[in-house]
Amino acid sequence: MQLNCAGKMLDLNQPAVMGVLNVTPDSFSDGGCYLQPDAALRRAEIMAEEGAAIIDVGGESTRPGAPLVTVQEELDRVLPVVERLTQALSIPISVDTSKPEVMREAARVGAGLINDVRALQAPGALDVAVTSDLPVCLMHLRGEPATMQQAPRYSDAVAEVYAFLAERVQVCEAAGISRDRILVDPGFGFGKTLEHNLRLLRHLNRFTDLAAGVLVGISRKSMIGLLLNTPVTERLSGSLAAAVIALWQGAKIIRTHDVRETVQALCVCAAARAAE
């Protein structure tokens, strides 16, 4: 299966790595590193050379406790970068946003996929996604970033996350976005405890029937830090282990800060899965 991302194809028949490019001052791992378009372009070029199949550009941090930014702030951060990357790179560029205004303008300058942590629930977001004719990624988020990690509770995290994503897929289909243009993301770390995250990872294969593919963003997250008692800068090994588990459980796309290492780990995992 391939996703048509504004004329650039994303092949889901093999493991795909999505490189993280945050153009924010306060993202938990790389905040402030790529605020300037020149720096963002250099980083994107490196990730493409390392094997990234798609680059995900975000202009608003969604880390726990992150403050909201205005539409204009996010547009000012995202649009120059998306436009330059779409012109310079042959791989698709994704826009990580929940704001319909940002979705619309990013699509206008060449973005090929809408990656929304709020699953197109903001007023107007679904309409913009339909009009853009771009594939979308729907993520599960319990609460809001500012408060999502304040004692999140589930009776059954896997069942509840599945039910939410299934409902959002149905809404998108009813609006005119076909299932083969929809990705789902269980939202590791977004309103979940360590136990919730581990159960979702263990049962990730439950989500593979929902849409065209499962996207997993687990790179350097706090669940890795909690398990290994390590700071953000020392979570590579744990992130790679989680990525391999996710691929083995059926994920199609792994979103990561560490592209080269993730590509290599997934290559080995995919070869083992394909062996008879």
Q: Which of 63, 99, 252, 255 is catalytic?
A: 255
**Which positions ≥6 away from 140 have C-beta within 8 Å?**
119, 161, 164, 165, 185, 186, 187, 190, 191
Phi and psi angles of residue 22, each rounded to the nearest 5 degrees, phi first:
-90, 120
The answer to whether residues 129 and 120 touch, using CB atoms and an 8 Å cutoff, is yes
Q: Is 221 a catalytic residue?
A: yes
Amino acid at 212: A
Contacts of 158 (CB under 8 A, 6+ apart): 199, 200, 203, 206
The structure tokens listed for 255 are 């979103």
Is residue 255 part of the annotated active site? The answer reads yes
Residue with tokens 């299966």: 1
Q: How far is CA 150 from CA 44, 49, 139, 226, in A?
A: 34, 39, 19, 16
Residue 41 CA to residue 55 CA, distance in Å, equals: 11
Active-site residue, selected from the candidate residues 99, 221, 235, 252: 221
Residues serving a catalytic function are 221, 255
